Structure 1
């Protein structure tokens, strides 16, 4: 009698849980994302050998703040106390630099939101209409973080 083997289940992604952004000014960055419309979920200090082993650093101590988009996606903001964070390039690195360069959000009322964010220290990089489909705006916030806003037209 031969044993029937169950086919191996293919590993699969279930969802994106969060994106990590390492920052120096945690308070300004939390305020920026709160003004943008994200919800502050909480803050904690993480440290110790297990954390260091996980992320490949020694003597780790960091403050992490979790932010949530209205649809439940997470943005984790980390301020490293030890070891010091390392900055690659200038704060205002252009959007064509290697690495993750912007976060894009679908919005309603793009003009009002851009105006609101400019009043809270954001810098307008540029805006345009993408055919008949979208109005787009790119903003730069604290730490040089680039945020894209997209409003569907029609």
Structure 2
């Protein structure tokens, strides 16, 4: 048996509207938004009295989706520290290839995007940076130079 594909990566956020706006500005498109609840959902995720809302974001003309999720019940669990550094165990970051890293960073700043370090050059191959977005999400950006 082999894996056929990776369908999506889910990210739990506290403000779904802000996360949708951030990833829309990045260049993703909202594919759909819906409430998720009921016994079938509780059985899948292993939570009792689960009510959530998801927004499925897709990359236009390319594979790859993000499922942005907020939980209404049970209450969101906030990590300690509230804004985890990049070396925290668990999901580290989501990386996107972009055409113009400086323009992308500038467009994401009004949506809460904050560069963690600086835009750096890796040899003559990439410009790279980590950016913190809504709910403390770390997004990697990579611009190929050649």
Shorter chain as denominator, the TM-score bin is over 0.9
Shift of residue 90, structure 1, vs aligned partner: 2.8
Match of 2:111 in 1: 120
| 1:72 Cα offset (Å) | 2.8
| Residue-pair matches, total | 144
Larger Rg: 1
Partner Cα distance (1:49, 1:37) in 2 = 35
- The match for 1:67 is 57
Unaligned runs of 5+ in 2: none
Q: Which runs of 4 or more aligned residues in structure 1 lie more than 6 Å from their structure 2 counterparts after TM superposition? A: none
TM-score in terms of structure 2 length = 0.94
Does residue 33 in structure 1 map to residue 26 in structure 2? no
How far off is 1:89 after superposition? 1.8
Task: Please list, as runs of the form range in 1=range in 2, the aligned pairs for 1:3-152 lying within 5 A after superposition.
Answer: 11-70=1-60, 71-126=62-117, 127-152=119-144
Q: State the superposition RMSD in angstroms.
A: 1.1
Contact 1:91-1:143 at 8 Å conserved across structures = no
> Could you list the runs of 5+ residues in structure 1 that have no partner in the other structure?
1-10
CA contact (8 A) 1:39 1:67 kept: yes
